[in-house]
Structure 1
Amino acid sequence: MNKTFKIYAVIFIIVMVILALLEVNKKETTDWRKNFDINEKSPFGLYVFSHEAKDLFKNKLKKVDQVPYEYYNQFKKEPHNIIVIENDIDKESWKKILDQVSKGSDAMLMVSRMPKDISDSIGYYDSEISFEDENVLKLTDNKYQNDFIKLDKFPSGRGFSFIKPNVEILGKTVEKKNSDQANFIKVKFGKGTIYAHSEPLFLTNYYLLKPGSIKYAQDVFSYLPDRETLWFVKSNSKTSRFFMRFVLANPALKYAWWIFLGGLVLFIFFNAKRKQRIVAVIEPLRNTSLDFVKSIGNLYLQEGDFHDMMAKKAQYFLNKVRIDLLIDTKELDTEFAKKLQLKTGKPMEMIVEAIDLIKRAQDPYASVMKEDLARINKLLDDILK
């Protein structure tokens, strides 16, 4: 087996082991999500209510995990009670519920966000929202006026507004800084009755386990007659706590996850076998001409032989003039100066000064200073530009 493939395989195994250990050893944290799941023991699940509901409805309660549309298409029912607690059901299912109510059934709808066409049918046009940290749910009926429940943890603050005249208010939300608003209403619909409560949070585990809270829930459901009751729940299956539960719960995401893992394994396998060996970097040969020139220049500078350097610069210049400008350099006279001025376009003063310096460089007995070398170097370079 290729050595690189072994390394990839070991890394992959280590990553999977780390994920498994994190899943096994992760600490239990309180889940404060408002899931309203009958199997959840988290604060805002319905586990407690689900187990107490049988006694509350005198063993006449039936939990239905089908949507109302499918259920009522399969079964024809006599007038009965219907309960919906924060269940996101479809529009056609809502219509089926209204149809059953119109035929004599009673519905207890505990939903914080009612679909608009359903709320219009019930008898209100909008819902108010408060952002207070806590409030009190209180019934307005005289026989229940002493029963209330305090919501001190994440209340939705929703209530009913623009209520039609035929709607009876059964409960309200009381807050310190805001005026009271209706949260529990009753309306006749055909032969039946609809009860709508905008704050289903009081049925969750967190509040039902508080002393005295169960009485409020009993009072709310006491409005339903003593007969068969259907509770349309979200699901009867236990929700997995595996960290990949959302991906594995959706077929499309699940197949994409397995395809990704399979593709990753294939990539590692083929990449390890086909990977080209590293090609050594060969440094190109250095051009040492520049280093040579610098060395020679430093040598002349150290020796202080400015005259010789000046003579070589003059010789190089005259050679360029002969080859590039085609001017005879035998005699550095006035005629030479005129030709050089015409060919280069430089001022005559510059050319005359350059010729004088060239003649000094060619004279072996002339005295040359460092400044003369710098001056001739600049002049000759400027003329040939």
Structure 2
Amino acid sequence: MTKPKEINWFPSFATHHKIPFGSFVFNEQLERLSNELVRAERPPFEYLNDNDISGTYLFYNGEVQFGKPELERLLEWTSKGNTLVVSSMVFEQKLLDTLNLKTRSISNFDHFTDTYQVQLANPNLNNGITYKFDRPTTFYHFNKIDTLNTKVLGFIDKYDEENTKINDSLINVVSQPFGKGNIILSTFPQSFTNYFILQSPNQDYTAALLSYIDLDKPIYIDAHYKSGKKIYTSPMYLFLNTKSLKWAYYIVLIGVLIYIIFEGKRKQRAIPIVRPHRNQTLDFTRTISNMYYEKGKHLDIAQHKIQYFLEYIRDNMHLSTAEINDTFIKNLAARSNNSIEETRSLFELIKNINNSTNINQTQLERLNTLIEQFKSNNQWKTKA
């Protein structure tokens, strides 16, 4: 916890990273210089299709590989008068073929003390100054260009520990018109990183590269093709990537484990299961009703059912059943979600049964059916 934190040399190129190879400083300065700066989180193919934009689209990363449809969409957008800037050590092969370019790598594995120094081709921007970069083991340059259409913007030189130039100047930044627009390619994406910009006077080199784009127009910085882009693969990302929260999480887990171990040793007498007494009212009712039914006392059963039904109306519909008239039937139909005709038909049957001295099985079954249908239409109210 107290020892110094190791430097993270991961080649992130992400605008939110303050590590050496992040681009927080560049993004902060570009926000100050540009009139409109937009961070494009989505793939460029989707972003260009969903947004009508113009200006400069800036890509920089250790490797930028477009698919064929995406590259064609970018080139189409560029040809309309926009600027495409791609700074990468590895380019899309189709992009190089389209611009008639080839790249090659050089390495300092045999001479670890050697350093790379970059410079600009324009004398108004150069002033004879070279800018050092001492971190890479491999550097890329353009070994073939289309001399008729390509404009050289920058070079790279290799120097030994005595600051003696080892090789000829190698091209590392080029510009080429494309339709009404312009394409700028650089094999030195490290020029946008915190490590390079904060080593004076290297910031002048990055500023000079920006002079080739129109800062008055919107600039769209790609955040999709970034090695260090934000990726959340787990809900525990916040806990496990913050040291204090991570240890708090581990302590909670350890505490729960200790609690389970010691609390599990406690003995507790088993609590007997007390089963509730069975409600036999329904069984008794069924027995009595079957007895009446088997003896053919249909009228008695119907009268009991009518009395129960009227009680049901008083309890659930809150209507008095002392007088059955048209007003009662209309109110009951409205409250029970039944039609007036259905309600009237039911009570006419009830009236006929009450006035009869004897009924048959068919009349009893019809009474039961109409009452059950009446209740079923009212279920949505009685449930509440």
TM-score when normalising by structure 2: 0.53
In structure 2, the partner of 1:100 is: 77
The 2-side partners of 1:127 and 1:56 are apart by 34
Q: Residues 108 and 195 of structure 1 are in contact (CA less than 8 Å); yes or no, is this contact kept in structure 2?
A: yes
In structure 2, the partner of 1:138 is: 119
In structure 2, the partner of 1:179 is: 168
In structure 2, the partner of 1:81 is: 56
Aligned-partner SS, 1:66: coil
In structure 1, the partner of 2:22 is: 45
The structure 1 residue matched to 2:40, chosen from 54, 57, 64, is 64
- In the TM superposition, residue 128 of structure 1 has moved relative to its aligned partner by 3.5
The 2-side partners of 1:237 and 1:36 are apart by 8
The 2-side partners of 1:219 and 1:151 are apart by 17
Residues 25 and 90 from structure 1, CA distance in 2 versus in 1: closer, same or farther, beyond 3 angstroms? farther
- In the TM superposition, residue 123 of structure 1 has moved relative to its aligned partner by 2.9
Aligned-partner SS, 1:177: coil
Unaligned regions of 5+ residues in structure 2, if any? 159-164, 242-256, 258-384
Residues 215 and 167 from structure 1, CA distance in 2 versus in 1: closer, same or farther, beyond 3 angstroms? same
The 1-side partners of 2:121 and 2:38 are apart by 29
In structure 1, the partner of 2:139 is: 157
- In the TM superposition, residue 88 of structure 1 has moved relative to its aligned partner by 3.7
In structure 1, the partner of 2:87 is: 110
- In the TM superposition, residue 26 of structure 1 has moved relative to its aligned partner by 8.0
In structure 1, the partner of 2:102 is: 125
What are the residue-to-residue correspondences of 1:274-285 with 2, within 5 Å?
none
Residues 93 and 148 from structure 1, CA distance in 2 versus in 1: closer, same or farther, beyond 3 angstroms? farther
The 2-side partners of 1:123 and 1:130 are apart by 24
What are the residue-to-residue correspondences of 1:220-299 with 2, within 5 Å?
220-225=209-214, 226-234=216-224
- In the TM superposition, residue 198 of structure 1 has moved relative to its aligned partner by 0.4
* Partner amino acid, structure 2, of 1:182: I
Q: Residues 84 and 232 of structure 1 are in contact (CA less than 8 Å); yes or no, is this contact kept in structure 2?
A: yes
Q: Point out the structure with the larger helix share.
A: 1
Residues 164 and 130 from structure 1, CA distance in 2 versus in 1: closer, same or farther, beyond 3 angstroms? farther
Q: Residues 32 and 44 of structure 1 are in contact (CA less than 8 Å); yes or no, is this contact kept in structure 2?
A: yes
Listed one character per residue, the Cα deviations across residues 226-268 of structure 1 (whole Å, up to 9, x for unaligned) are: 311111113797578x9x96xx99xxxxxxxxxxxxxxx9xxx
Listed one character per residue, the Cα deviations across residues 85-144 of structure 1 (whole Å, up to 9, x for unaligned) are: 116453133322211111111111111100111111123023343436411110011211
Q: Residues 156 and 199 of structure 1 are in contact (CA less than 8 Å); yes or no, is this contact kept in structure 2?
A: no
Q: Residues 105 and 193 of structure 1 are in contact (CA less than 8 Å); yes or no, is this contact kept in structure 2?
A: yes
The 2-side partners of 1:149 and 1:56 are apart by 22
Percent of paired sites with the same residue? 24
Alpha-carbon RMSD:
3.3
The 1-side partners of 2:20 and 2:50 are apart by 35
Aligned-partner SS, 1:157: strand
- 1:197 and 2:174 correspond: no
Q: Residues 62 and 231 of structure 1 are in contact (CA less than 8 Å); yes or no, is this contact kept in structure 2?
A: yes
Q: Residues 149 and 216 of structure 1 are in contact (CA less than 8 Å); yes or no, is this contact kept in structure 2?
A: yes
- Rg larger in structure: 1
Paired residues in the alignment total 228
Listed one character per residue, the Cα deviations across residues 341-385 of structure 1 (whole Å, up to 9, x for unaligned) are: xxxxxxxxxxxxxxxxxxxxxxxxxxxxxxxxxxxxxxxxxxxxx
Q: Residues 106 and 194 of structure 1 are in contact (CA less than 8 Å); yes or no, is this contact kept in structure 2?
A: yes
Q: Residues 14 and 24 of structure 2 are in contact (CA less than 8 Å); yes or no, is this contact kept in structure 1?
A: yes
* Partner amino acid, structure 1, of 2:66: D
Residues 76 and 239 from structure 1, CA distance in 2 versus in 1: closer, same or farther, beyond 3 angstroms? closer
Q: Residues 135 and 155 of structure 1 are in contact (CA less than 8 Å); yes or no, is this contact kept in structure 2?
A: no
TM-score when normalising by structure 1: 0.53
The 2-side partners of 1:158 and 1:75 are apart by 34
- In the TM superposition, residue 155 of structure 1 has moved relative to its aligned partner by 5.6
- In the TM superposition, residue 177 of structure 1 has moved relative to its aligned partner by 1.5
Farther off after superposition, 141-150 or 230-239:
230-239
Residues 156 and 95 from structure 1, CA distance in 2 versus in 1: closer, same or farther, beyond 3 angstroms? farther
The 2-side partners of 1:208 and 1:183 are apart by 18
Aligned-partner SS, 1:111: strand
The 2-side partners of 1:34 and 1:155 are apart by 13
